[in-house]
Structure 1
Amino acid sequence: MNELIRVRLDVTYDGTDFSGWAAQPQRRTVAGVLTEALGRLVGADTVLGLTVAGRTDAGVHATGQVCHIDLPVAAWEALDGTLVRRLAALMPPDARVLAAVPVPDTFDARFSATFRRYEYRVADTPWGPEPLRRRDTLGWVRPLDLDLLRQAAAGLIGEHDYAAYCKRKEHGTTVRAITALDWRREPDGVAVATVQADAFCQAMVRSLIGALLTVGDGRRDPQWPATLLTLRERSSSVTVAPAHGLTLVAVGYPDDPAEYARRAEATRRLRA
Structure 2
Amino acid sequence: MRVRVDLAYDGAGFHGWARQPGLRTVQGELETALATVLRVPEVSVTCAGRTDTGVHARGQVCHLDVADDALTGAAGRSTGAPARAVATRLNGLLPADVRVRALRGVPDDFDARVSALWRRYAYRVADDPGTVDPLTRGHVLSWRHPLDLEAMNLAGGALLGEHDFAAFCKRREGATTVRTLLDLQWARDASGVAVATVRADAFCHHMVRSLMGALLAAGEGRRPPDWPAGVLRAGVRDSAVPVLPAHALTLEEVGYPADDELGARAEASRRMRSVEAP
Deviations 1:215-256 (A, max 9, x none): 1111110000000112232221110010000000000000x2
Aligned to 2:213: 210
1:53 corresponds, among 48, 53, 68, to: 48
Task: Return 5+ residue gaps in structure 1 as ranges.
Answer: none
Aligned to 2:19: 23
Aligned to 2:121: 118
Matching of residues 76-155 of structure 1 within 5 Å: 76-78=71-73, 79=75, 80=82, 81-127=84-130, 129-155=132-158
Aligned to 1:156: 159
Aligned to 2:263: 261
1:128, 1:166 → 2: CA distance? 30
Structure 1: which 4+ aligned runs deviate by more than 2 Å?
none
Task: Return 5+ residue gaps in structure 2 as ranges.
Answer: 76-81
Aligned to 1:200: 203
* Offset of residue 77 of structure 1: 1.7
TM-score, structure 1 as length reference: 0.95
* Residues paired across the two proteins, number: 266
Matching of residues 26-45 of structure 1 within 5 Å: 26-45=22-41
2:129, 2:107 → 1: CA distance? 51
1:154, 1:90 → 2: CA distance? 44
| Matched residue type, 2:59 | G
| Matched residue type, 1:262 | A
2:109, 2:155 → 1: CA distance? 39
Identical pairs, percent: 54
SS of 1:77's partner is: helix
| Matched residue type, 1:13 | Y
Q: Alignment RMSD, CA only? A: 1.2
* Offset of residue 270 of structure 1: 3.4
* Offset of residue 92 of structure 1: 0.4
1:32, 1:250 → 2: CA distance? 21
SS of 1:33's partner is: helix
1:74 corresponds, among 69, 79, 96, to: 69
2:122, 2:111 → 1: CA distance? 23
Structure 1 17/271 Cα, relative in aligned 2: closer, same or farther at 3 Å? farther
SS of 1:120's partner is: strand
| Matched residue type, 2:267 | E
Deviations 1:89-140 (A, max 9, x none): 1000000110001001110000000000000000011145312211110000
* Offset of residue 75 of structure 1: 1.5
2:168 corresponds, among 143, 165, 170, to: 165
* Contact 1:128-1:140 within 8 A present in 2 as well: no
SS of 2:66's partner is: strand
